């Protein structure tokens, strides 16, 4: 799977760790930055990841900032993106199963890098259930 990966300064260390773990699992990683711990604006990286997923340069996106909230809010402004703020196993799994989320968001000030990696693994491995959830997802996409 091709994964677009991005963070701001708060999520930088988690992103760096996650990039290597994703590659070790055989994923192709498109790292859109940031490249340092220097203060930066999270919307810049959320939009890069969201556009990569919406434009089909990536199958899924992963975003990490301080809380994950700003990344999710920004990514969800891009048509075709369904970004989920994931805080535990249930949100990582159900974001995929019921909402067909295509961008995972998390906070490095809320979760450890290892915990984020474990949740990303669940998110990437979980299929969309389809069925009764499909009309609901279409309604989300039509909201743009």
* Predicted confidence (pLDDT) per residue in 77-98, tens digit: 999 999 999 999 999 999 999 9
105 is catalytic: no
| pLDDT score, position 7 | 98
Neighbours of 76 (CB within 10 A): 20
pLDDT tens-place values along the chain, 144 residues long:
999 999 999 999 999 999 999 999 999 999 999 999 999 999 999 999 999 999 999 999 999 999 999 999 999 999 999 999 999 999 999 999 999 999 999 999 999 999 999 999 999 999 999 999 999 999 999 987
Residue of 40, 65, 86, 105 marked active site:
65
| pLDDT score, position 143 | 87
What is the rounded distance in angstroms from the CA atom of residue 36 to the CA atom of residue 81?
26
| pLDDT score, position 82 | 98
Count of structural domains, the chain? 1
Q: Cis bond leading into 54, ω under 30°? A: no
DSSP conformation letters of 124-143: HHPPP--GGGHHHHHHHHHT
What is the rounded distance in angstroms from the CA atom of residue 43 to the CA atom of residue 72?
9
Residue of 98, 105, 133, 144 marked active site:
98
Q: Containing domain of residue 71, as a range?
A: 2-142
CATH number, domain containing residue 51: 3.40.1400.10
């Amino acid at each position: 799977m091709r994964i677009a990966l991005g963070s701001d300064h708060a999520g930088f260390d988690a992103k760096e760790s996650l990039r290597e773990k994703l590659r070790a699992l055989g994923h192709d990683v498109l790292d859109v930055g940031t490249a340092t711990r220097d203060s930066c604006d999270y919307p810049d990286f959320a939009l890069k990841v969201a556009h990569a997923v919406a434009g089909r340069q990536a199958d899924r996106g992963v975003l990490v900032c301080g809380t994950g909230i700003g990344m999710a809010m920004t990514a969800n402004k891009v048509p075709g993106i369904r970004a989920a703020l994931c805080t535990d196993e249930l949100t990582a799994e159900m974001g995929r199963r019921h909402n067909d989320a295509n961008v995972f968001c998390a906070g490095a000030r809320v979760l450890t890098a290892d915990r984020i990696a474990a949740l990303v693994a669940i998110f990437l491995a979980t299929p969309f259930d389809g069925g009764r959830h499909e009309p609901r997802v279409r309604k989300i996409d039509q909201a743009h």
